[in-house]
Chains A and B, each alone.
Chain A
């Protein structure tokens, strides 16, 4: 006897015309953003630069250095690099031990393995004692086509409940590079979502003097009709969508929130209070427990009640496939963001 939910359905999961089919995005794939320059391995290079100035920096990987860009650091500073093998629990425990001895360990793996497999070790060995471990994880949210085993669609929800832990979701190559010294300088533990490989450089194209600041939300683009409050690479999507929407007469502002915890409450409240705009949150994460719900809670508890909508991944285990296909399917593509906002503005 087979339970209904266990019964396999061997039909193709997506109805995509043959001419439009794309190959599954590999784990090492870079995130594409049309029309922007890219930077190779911004995390690895930024960590090498920092480690040259600060001898406390060490790097640890659980057999994924090539897929987190930590190999750049490992090659440049082999004596500062620890290969921990495929063992995420001791990866986090050992990072905790190194932090106790005065080092600043950057512990890297995939977001799914940190959030799901190593959670107790992050909670008790690192966060409870407020130790300076920097957990930097590739494949956040929907950035691989390998399916739920590799898609960390609920990592922020898992980590938001953990006291002491700062959570960062950078948007682009500059955010990734600039967050490295900032999170290292922060005295407590940090969980950072990583974009690796060839990473687009986006934010300074829209706002030349932009620079990542830990804990700060920053307006990248002003707009009278809609305020998008976004994090991670969804800020890229929001900015591109804003350019398209401008042609249709919809003026969209974008507030980039790369630090999800602690939330920059003052800036978000001040922006949301500005005159009658539709407020839309956008994140590369489940709509459960991420930025959207954090902002909703902040606004509600402060009596700020604009028209409010959320863009994010559904509360579901997602399909496998090519990233552009999946981003379109789940509403994270520029076109789908444009479509969503247009629909809400017209309500």
Chain B
């Protein structure tokens, strides 16, 4: 697979690089969904530098694994990963969220190479992934479709229409990644609609289901490997328990972190904190 050329750098370091790039983008704008970006960085690093089959110089390559960002507001995280993977140039990083940028605050397919869909209206990604997985099967294309979604999107009825549909149509080429940080706009997901543990729901719907610590790189990699290696035509879901703001301790401790407030003088401190924990 093409990703083998990245093997000279550890996935932990890739995740750290993604976190650092996201923080720099947040610093440019003075705001952003930095909590989500820091939380999901390990999953993105493992996806783009281990699991996904892709060509950074040809983001529309027909043989690529499709990576859908259902959660448009996580764009800051995906931009960081796309820059880290060489799909976007690093010098565009400072344009994040500015007029004329290719990196708007909420991810849109027509703006950004590597951004497969326009997310942001939550609950859309999985249904689109169902159609793309159907299309790949029709073309005998062995690529996978990955859909990254949030725990909040588990409340959308469309998510469950898509979940049933993926099973009905035998979409073993579909891998759904759920970022379970238990934070949505008004508070905890588990206090909104996610009271019943998610893995039982997905299993009951007929999905191959895993739930792992999304900030434990070895566990993330093992789960992605197991999802791809699973034989048969069951769609696969991995629920990643993640910690908002992972890697910046004073932000991790901040409450109600859906849109984490970072004061102007705190960005430099956040970068310093992250830098102190730079992995090999």
Contacts and interface: CB of A to CB of B under 8 A. Distances in A.
Interface in A62-99: 82, 84-85, 87, 89-90, 92-99
A82 B134 contact: yes
A330 interface: no
A124 interface: yes
A285 B134 CA distance: 36
Contact of B162 (A90, A100, A103): A90
Contacts of B136: 101
Contacts of B158: 89-90, 93, 121
Contacts, number: 97
Interface in B114-147: 116-118, 120-121, 123-124, 126-136, 138-139
Interface residues of B, number: 31
A141 to B, nearest CB: 27
A97 B128 contact: yes
A344 B110 CA distance: 50
Interface string A102-128: 110100000000000000110111001
Contacts of B126: 93
Contacts of B131: 93-101, 105
A266 interface: no
Contact of A100 (B108, B132, B157, B161): B132
Given A82-B169, A85-B164, A128-B118, A90 B130 contact: yes
B192 interface: no
A125 B161 CA distance: 15
A97 B165 contact: no
Q: Which of B108, B118, B131, B157 gathers most chain A CB within 10 Å?
A: B131
A121 B108 CA distance: 15
Given A85-B164, A93-B127, A124-B124, 8 more contacts: A90-B127, A96-B131, A97-B130, A100-B117, A100-B131, A101-B134, A103-B135, A129-B117
The 9 closest A-B pairs by CB, nearest first: A97-B131, A93-B127, A101-B135, A94-B131, A97-B132, A87-B161, A89-B158, A90-B161, A90-B127
29 contacts: A58-B138, A84-B165, A87-B165, A90-B127, A90-B158, A90-B164, A93-B128, A94-B131, A94-B134, A94-B165, A97-B135, A98-B132, A100-B117, A100-B128, A100-B131, A100-B132, A101-B131, A101-B134, A101-B138, A102-B135, A102-B139, A121-B124, A121-B127, A123-B121, A124-B118, A124-B120, A125-B127, A125-B128, A129-B110
Interface of B: 108-110, 116-118, 120-121, 123-124, 126-136, 138-139, 157-158, 161-162, 164-165, 168-169
